[in-house]
């Protein structure tokens, strides 16, 4: 790619700082108020650093230090850094779910970049929704942008046992409920499962989405796999600061990086990692910001050809720290061969193929060879049928195989509270072949489509030693979860989707190889129930929630706001006809 290098007068910030008028006087005098003399910023690229650090986000605790390293790099390369706080979206603490606020941060990122004198942008994220949200906003603004991934935390440890975020929480919680471990053991797990800064180190949404960001071309090569506390993470942060300054002069923008092929690369990456099902929703939303109309059907098509190579929990055995030592994402991408389009541009000005050319696998236990993959193609399946006309998803690799083709009687819970109240009741009419159904857990109904999709197994069935059952909801599921959980059922039950019409005792049929999900009732019966269905009261009456419920689209459309779309596709990327700037 050869573009003319920008001159200082062509910088966007020149309009704020370089013009000799009254408004620029104001900007310069107020910059002087902050202690900067003209020599420190005049004619230099202004770099906005969107930092999602906060005192309640454990995954980003090191961002206070990392942002200083980014600034160091920016200064050294001749730029002028401005740190701007952005919503922290702390996965463990924010209720009802960070997903309710993903679009809020995406809008905040876009409008922050738009309204301040940014020439280039560093996005600092990692905890689940922060990565897609920041990228969505930056893609829409289309200024030179680089992503700094928080990096995974170190492996968890308790009494010599390696612990993985989320996955081992569910595992030991089930053991505690089944009486297999003591309260003291449970406390030990609590103390050892998260023992350093960084995002979840299993293949949850965070590891999946930061890896997708790297495969898309938005990070320096190899960055997404480096554990947060590693000194190489700090070094990469400084290099990220250096590189963004050069990207501004080169005018290397998201629209040069995100294409149909780079989106396919990112989807392939998510699948080869056996990544979180949440990535589907996020990839659809961010691809459409760039005018790339990613659909569930295309996702399924890529899933059918993509082997799972990463042996990482919850699908596999190891954790992100092991993945890094085994060669990391670059090594896995290289092993994927022609399934990855190496011609795609990345933020360092080189192609993805150039960036991975010298990568090597150092442990075939952690990163499998393509000739002998961990799983041939079972990372993800998109289902359809009368229960999910607009689609649903399942991660077959994380489910017991006997449940891939299964028919069972529905046990229906009308919402989360109903499920919490009755799931462990001795009276509950169910056995291990039953199908647990949760309603009102979708984007509008829950609200925010929380990660409730790994529905609990009734205690009386757990006590029989059963560890998996078919479970269906319109919720999402944490990427660190596992089990035969059908998720993202669309349209959702709260707005009258067929899931709302399922009743106790209905037979539900799942067939993963044939991608089918049906409730075995007649069309006439379905129509009769639909006619009798009464819409529930809206969740919100005012504020952001009211706007959210009015405009959020269903999971198959990435849970994006309808008003962020243009021309029937999602794109509001400047190259796809974005909003004009008002200065
Ligand atoms: Fe932040 Fe899991 S809690 S990534």
Q: Tell the residue nearest (CA) to atom 1 of ligand 1.
A: 127
2-50 confidence digits (pLDDT tens) = 789 999 999 999 999 999 999 999 999 999 999 999 999 999 999 999 9
Q: Tell the residue nearest (CA) to atom 2 of ligand 1.
A: 200
Q: Tell the residue nearest (CA) to atom 3 of ligand 1.
A: 91
3 state SS of 500: helix
Q: How many C-beta atoms lie closer than 10 Å to residue 523's C-beta? A: 8
The backbone torsions φ and ψ at residue 470, rounded to the nearest 5 degrees and listed phi first, read -75, 125
Measured CA to CA in angstroms, residue 488 lies from 283, 312, 511 at distances of: 14, 23, 17
3 state SS of 418: helix
Query: 199 C-alpha vs ligand 1 centroid, how far in Å?
Result: 5
Ligand 1: atom nearest CA of 92 is 3
Of 222, 226, 213, the closest CA to residue 125 belongs to 213
Q: What is the CA radius of gyration of the chain?
A: 24
Query: 201 C-alpha vs ligand 1 centroid, how far in Å?
Result: 9
Judge whether 151 and 198 are in contact, CB under 8 Å.
Answer: yes
Query: 280 C-alpha vs ligand 1 centroid, how far in Å?
Result: 18
DSSP for residue 154: P
CA–CA dist 347, 244 (Å, integer): 8
Measured CA to CA in angstroms, residue 203 lies from 135, 244, 256, 562 at distances of: 20, 28, 29, 30
Of 322, 341, 201, the closest CA to residue 267 belongs to 341
Q: What is the pTM of this model?
A: 0.95
Strand partners, 49: 83, 122
141-196 confidence digits (pLDDT tens) = 999 999 999 999 999 999 999 999 988 998 898 889 888 999 999 999 999 999 99
Measured CA to CA in angstroms, residue 462 lies from 165, 175, 295, 436, 458 at distances of: 22, 9, 37, 14, 6
pLDDT over 90, % of the chain: 90
Query: 256 C-alpha vs ligand 1 centroid, how far in Å?
Result: 30
Q: Which two tokens stand for residue 275?
A: 């990544």
Ligand 1 proximal residues by C-beta, below 6 Å:
59, 91-92, 127-128, 165, 199-200, 204, 206
Confidence of residue 568 (pLDDT cuts 50, 70, 90): low
Mean pLDDT of 127-153: 98
Ligand 1: atom nearest CA of 150 is 4
Query: 544 C-alpha vs ligand 1 centroid, how far in Å?
Result: 24
3 state SS of 38: helix
CA–CA dist 128, 150 (Å, integer): 10
- Strands (E) in 100-142, as ranges, are 120-125
pLDDT at 583: 64
Query: 59 C-alpha vs ligand 1 centroid, how far in Å?
Result: 6
Q: How many C-beta atoms lie closer than 10 Å to residue 37's C-beta? A: 10
Counting ligand 1 atoms within 8 A of each CB, the residue from 52, 198, 200, 314 with the most, and so the one to mutate, is: 200
């Amino acid at each position: 790619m050869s573009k003319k290098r920008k001159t200082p007068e062509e910088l966007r910030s020149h309009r704020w700082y370089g013009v000799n008028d009254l408004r620029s006087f104001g900007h310069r005098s107020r910059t002087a108020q902050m202690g900067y003399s003209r020599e420190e910023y005049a004619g230099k690229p202004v770099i906005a650093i969107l930092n999602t650090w906060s005192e309640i986000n454990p995954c980003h605790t090191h961002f206070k230090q990392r942002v200083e390293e980014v600034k160091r790099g920016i200064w050294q390369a001749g730029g002028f850094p401005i740190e701007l706080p952005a919503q922290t979206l702390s996965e463990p603490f924010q209720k009802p779910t960070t997903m309710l606020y993903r679009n809020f941060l995406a809008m905040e990122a876009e409008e922050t970049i738009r309204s301040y004198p940014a020439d280039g942008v560093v996005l600092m994220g990692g905890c689940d929704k922060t990565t897609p949200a920041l990228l969505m906003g930056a893609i829409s603004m289309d200024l030179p942008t680089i992503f700094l991934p928080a990096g995974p935390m170190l492996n968890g440890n308790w009494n010599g046992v390696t612990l993985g975020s989320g996955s081992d929480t569910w595992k030991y919680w089930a053991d505690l409920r089944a009486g297999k471990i003591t309260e003291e053991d449970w406390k030990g797990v609590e103390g050892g499962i998260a023992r350093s800064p960084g995002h979840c180190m299993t293949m949850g949404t965070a590891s999946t989405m930061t890896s997708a960001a790297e495969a898309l071309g938005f990070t320096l090569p190899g960055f997404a796999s480096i554990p947060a506390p590693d000194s190489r993470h700090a070094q990469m942060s400084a290099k990220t600061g250096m590189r963004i300054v050069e990207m501004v002069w080169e005018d290397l923008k998201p629209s040069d990086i995100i294409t149909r092929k780079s989106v396919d690369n990112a989807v392939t990456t998510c699948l080869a990692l056996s990544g979180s099902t949440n990535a589907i929703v996020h990839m659809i939303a961010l691809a459409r910001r760039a005018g790339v109309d990613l659909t569930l059907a295309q996702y399924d098509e890529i899933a059918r050809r993509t082997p799972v190579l990463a042996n990482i929990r919850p699908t596999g055995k190891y954790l992100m720290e092991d993945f890094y030592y085994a060669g990391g994402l670059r090594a896995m991408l290289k092993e994927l061969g022609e399934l990855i389009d190496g011609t795609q541009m990345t933020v360092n000005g080189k192609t993805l193929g150039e960036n991975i050319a010298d990568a090597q696998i150092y442990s075939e236990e952690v990163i499998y060879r393509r000739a002998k993959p961990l799983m041939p193609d079972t990372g993800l399946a998109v289902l359809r049928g009368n229960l999910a006309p607009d689609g649903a998803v399942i991660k077959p690799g994380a489910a017991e195989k006997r449940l891939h083709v299964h028919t069972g009687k529905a046990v229906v819970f009308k919402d989360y509270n109903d499920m919490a109240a009755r799931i462990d009741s001795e009276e509950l009419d169910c056995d291990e072949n039953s199908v647990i159904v949760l309603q009102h857990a979708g984007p509008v109904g829950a609200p925010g489509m929380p990660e409730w999709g790994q529905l609990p197994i009734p205690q009386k069935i757990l006590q029989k030693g059963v560890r998996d059952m078919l479970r269906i909801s319109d919720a999402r599921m944490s990427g660190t979860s596992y089990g035969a959980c059908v998720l993202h059922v669309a349209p959702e039950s709260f707005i009258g989707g067929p899931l709302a019409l399922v009743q106790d005792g209905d037979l539900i049929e799942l067939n993963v190889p044939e991608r089918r999900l049906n409730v075995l009732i007649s069309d006439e019966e379905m129509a009769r129930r639909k006619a009798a269905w009464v819409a529930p009261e809206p969740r919100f009456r005012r504020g952001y929630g009211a706007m959210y419920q009015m405009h959020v689209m269903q999971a198959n459309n990435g849970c994006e706001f309808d008003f962020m779309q243009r021309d029937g596709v999602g794109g509001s990327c400047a190259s796809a006809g974005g909003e004009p700037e008002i200065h």
